[in-house]
């Protein structure tokens, strides 16, 4: 998924629902491909079921969720987006 906000200087995300199954991975990077976050995986699951994500400096980012065949889809919900700093 690509997320873009014209004139934004950075993005920060909160997944308000984050439950990944073993084998699934989440990657996030800026559109310039100079900053990368991840892989996030089942080891990042927390009791509260949320995942805050650090800043990426860009007006556009890509969120990639990879689920291999035979692995459950898990749960991802994006709580809020651009910090607009």
Q: What is the distance between the alpha carbons of residues 82 and 24, in angstroms, rounded to a whole number?
A: 25
Give the number of residues written for the chain. 85
pLDDT tens, position by position, 6-48: 888 998 889 999 999 999 999 999 999 999 999 999 999 999 9
Reply yes or no: is the peptide bond before residue 3 cis, omega within 30 of 0.
no
Domain ranges of the chain: 2-80
Q: What is the distance between the alpha carbons of residues 43 and 21, in angstroms, rounded to a whole number?
A: 9
Q: 19-57 burial, b if ≥16 CB within 10 A, otherwise e?
A: bbbeebbbebbbeeeebebbebbeeebeeeeebebeebe
CA 60 vs. chain centroid, Å, equals 13
Confidence category of residue 84, pLDDT binned at 50, 70, 90? very low
């Amino acid at each position: 998924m690509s997320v873009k906000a014209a004139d934004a200087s950075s993005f920060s995300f909160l997944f308000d629902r984050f439950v990944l199954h073993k084998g699934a991975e989440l990657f996030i990077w800026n559109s310039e491909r100079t900053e990368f976050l991840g892989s996030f995986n089942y080891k990042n699951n927390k009791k509260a079921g949320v995942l805050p994500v650090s800043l990426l400096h860009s007006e556009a980012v890509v969120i990639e969720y990879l689920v291999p065949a035979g692995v459950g889809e898990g749960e991802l919900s994006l709580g809020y987006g651009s910090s607009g700093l």
